[in-house]
């Protein structure tokens, strides 16, 4: 049995050396990982801006708001809505056409008006701003081109 005891001792010694070799390699690997983690921490801290304005430039927004505020106080905005005189003019209309004729110029001060000329089959023939329609005899011109009546829709 002496021979087997020697072989067993030899195996135990080899086992210890193998375990030490694996532990040394793992310790080296852990040391490398710790070095990489430290390097990543340092680069993350270097990337962190010291001044909050580098990350969120609020000063530019503040300056823009100050400009808008100054511009708003300098020029009074036109009052929105309809004057009493305009309401009386609308109230005095006897028909829908009179009402529209009185209402369109009032709306023109607040919004842009577009007139569309629609063919009886429903196709859009022409579209123009209301001012252009007032200056040109567009309806008659379109009717002559399409050889049928064209209905203006405002």
Q: Quickly list DSSP for 58-118.
A: HHHHHHHHHHHHHHHHHSPPPPPS--HHHHHHHHT--SHHHHHHHHHHHHHHHS--EEEEE
Mean pLDDT computed over 101-128: 66
**148 three-state secondary structure:** coil
Q: Which residues contact 142 (CB under 8 A, 6 or more apart)?
A: 117, 125, 126, 150
pLDDT at 154: 43
**136 three-state secondary structure:** coil
The pLDDT tens digits of the residues spanning 61-99 come to 888 888 888 877 775 555 556 678 878 887 888 888 888
DSSP H or E stretch at residue 129: strand 124-129
Residue 138 has pLDDT above 70, yes or no: no
The pLDDT tens digits of the residues spanning 142-151 come to 555 555 554 4
Residue 136 has pLDDT above 80, yes or no: no
Place of tokens 């040109």: 136
pLDDT at 39: 94
Q: In this structure, what DSSP letter does residue 147 have? A: T
């Amino acid at each position: 049995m002496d021979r087997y005891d020697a072989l067993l001792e030899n195996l135990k010694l080899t086992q210890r050396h193998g375990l030490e070799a694996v532990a040394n390699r793992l310790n080296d690997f852990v040391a490398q990982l710790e070095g990489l983690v430290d390097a990543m921490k340092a680069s993350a801290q270097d990337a962190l801006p010291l001044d909050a304005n580098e990350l969120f430039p609020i000063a530019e927004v503040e300056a823009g708001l100050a400009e808008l505020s100054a511009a708003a106080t300098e020029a009074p905005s036109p009052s929105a809505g309809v004057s009493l005189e305009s309401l009386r003019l609308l109230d005095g209309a006897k028909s829908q056409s009179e009402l529209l004729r009185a209402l369109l110029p009032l709306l023109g001060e607040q919004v842009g008006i577009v007139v569309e000329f629609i063919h009886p089959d429903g196709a859009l023939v022409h579209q123009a701003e209301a001012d252009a329609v007032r200056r040109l005899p567009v309806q008659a011109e379109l009717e002559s081109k399409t050889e049928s009546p064209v209905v203006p829709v405002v």
